[in-house]
Structure 1
Amino acid sequence: MSPEPTPLPPPPDLYGRGRDDRFMRFLDTVTRFYLPISTRRDRYGRRTVPSTSALLPAVVAARTVEAEGVVSLHLRSADSSVPLPAWQPGAHLDVELPSGLRRQYSLCGDPADRNSYRIAVRRIDTGAGGSLEIHQNLPVGSELTISHPRNAFPFAADPAVLLIAGGIGITPLLPMAREAARRGLDWRLVHTGRSRATMPFAAELGALDRDGGRLVLRPDDEHGGPADAAELLGHAPGPGAAVYMCGPAPMLDSVRAAFDDSPARALHFERFSAAPVTDGRPFTLRLRRSGVTLAVPADRSALDVLREHDPATPYSCCQGYCGVCRRNVTAGTVEHRDRRLSDQERAEGQMLVCVSRAPEGECLELDG
């Protein structure tokens, strides 16, 4: 066996003096300290990137009517020389409208396009006013501000994928379908809606379905009513498929209730509001590394409180299915309410903070 190599001495003094060069020693110290910080990975193996909540000035570069009551907007940076931040399928933006209203919209364009973002908005006459402002008072050239993209609905590019979209819920799933086709995955997409006229992006979806067997457009008015969960899940490309779904609450709830009897493996939702907490009791969370203690009220989830403390906290389905919000518990008793973790994973101290809780007055210590 060859001997261990001897570490090289510090660089000699640049000017021939009989000691190490101080500037080189300084650079060596800085490199040793900052390089591990700048290249470290999080617990999911991803490079850590400083989060930012800064809003970016943007303009409406184009408007397109995509379906009855649906308009898409192409948003460009106000500084056209600077590329927009990168994003991945499932990401969304905060959009601050000229009125001051702030709304969230899924990105439905091409992640490879760093010059513009595309969002699509359905008009809701009985809503809180954001969609009406976009439809009525936001022409091409309008100025607004947008956030950096955030992704609470990440696409894991599973080998077999079923995408289920209800109405405008197609927006986060369209980039997923594009990515699945690009990667050559075994994918299916079911898009439901009241009628074909109300279902946006049919032509784009059709262009992805070159084989003619991956896309199902399912208008309610042509089938006597909405699809039930068994019909939707029946389009899975095979046992073990992962399901990604975005749509109205009744559709989400019915698929969730039927999921255990399906051959699918994992269920990922995007909900615009979390399901209400039932039989909740107040408890606390303690973050072991920082020592911060957070109170969790009876009517809120641990995930709600963690995201309020750190908006970058990862989550997806908010229903205890997907496992994205998994955390390690180092002390305390967990009331497990998820439908994903195994008995062994629970015994090892894992918890899905979107639904699981603690007994009243208990303190859960999280390794983070």
Structure 2
Amino acid sequence: MSTKRARALGWRIPFPRSVAGLWIFAIGAILLVMLGVQILSGIILAMFYVPTQELAFDSIIHIMRAVNHGELLRNMHAIGASLFFFACYLHIFRGMYYSVYRRPYVKMWFISVTLYVLLMVVAFLGYSLVWGQKSYWAATVIASFARAIPWAGDTLYAFLVGGYAPGTPMLGRFYVLHFLLPFVIVVATLFHIRTVQSAFAQAMKKTFSEKSCRRLLFDYQITDLDVIKTTLFLMLFAWFLFFAPHYLSSADNFIPADPTVTPAVVAPEWYFLPFFSILRCFPNELVGLTAMCGSVLVFYFLPWLDTSRARFRHYSRLVKCGFWIWVLNACFLGWLGSKALVGPDLTDGFSNEEGWIRAASQLSTLIYFAWFLLVLPCRRFLEKQE
């Protein structure tokens, strides 16, 4: 369709310059495509999966070996989850960098964070369903932290596990939730698209008719960019799928779950590692659980923690530098989460024959929260307000 035709039909919806300028980070279309890939491949896999302690792992092996194109579908689902979170983190980092949690984007930001929380829950449930050695112990360790919650901990643990130890009841519950929650994500995504359009229109101070709003069509320029971005991302997806299908997986997860053998390092998938590092770095389980939940829920409070009202061109270089330090620190937290937790606490120092992973994890956790609780509230003193 020509540009004049698109303008005549009233499909042009303005968007901030940050979307057009740093186009590689504006990847909402990629997330939509990957969501569709995950749902379609998940529905097919659900037809063959058996959520029992005895047959869960064997059913996955059966899918990969006996079902037509089963290995392709299973790898597509597993690799798609990793690349889905990779795109999601780029999307979040871009939003934080341009401070799109301010007005008029507050509602859009709340829905975005809610979508991210739902994605984390669905991914954890799906990872547990593999019932390999790594996923079994990761689910066991995470579920055991529920007991640290005062008063309701034992009840919550019994609800999650369904017995004295993880087994068939837990798999059945995780399987049902893993199948149903993606449809909740689809509904929330529709609301998110709606709020994105409304927020962009409000930001550009332009009104649209009800008929135009119902179409939910973005600017044709954004659509053209989305085609390019999606194609490049799918090329990356295809490379992993056909040339390195198990590169993002752990070898331990190709071993059936054995409750009598504990792996040397118990860790979830890479996209959970920063939060897992925060969870386990404190000796007290309740403190670790509170810190991990706080590291996610703090994103809800960014509209109030960031006191600056400066436009992007007036952002302080010091704040920009601090943001990239925070990003690097989050990646470092992920690396620490993949290592065995050894060494003393941060108060005892780094020099110890046992190692320094615990002390480094605690220091990185403090840096993680310092960005939200110290740097953002002080931004208004460093930048020109408008």
Compare relative contact order (CA 8 Å, sep 6+) and give the higher one, 1 or 2: 2
Same topology, TM > 0.5? no
| TM bracket (short chain) | under 0.3
**TM-score, with structure 1 as normaliser:** 0.25
Hey, which of these two has a bigger chunk of strand by percent?
Answer: 1
For the pair shown, which has the larger CA radius of gyration, 1 or 2? 1
More helix per residue: 2
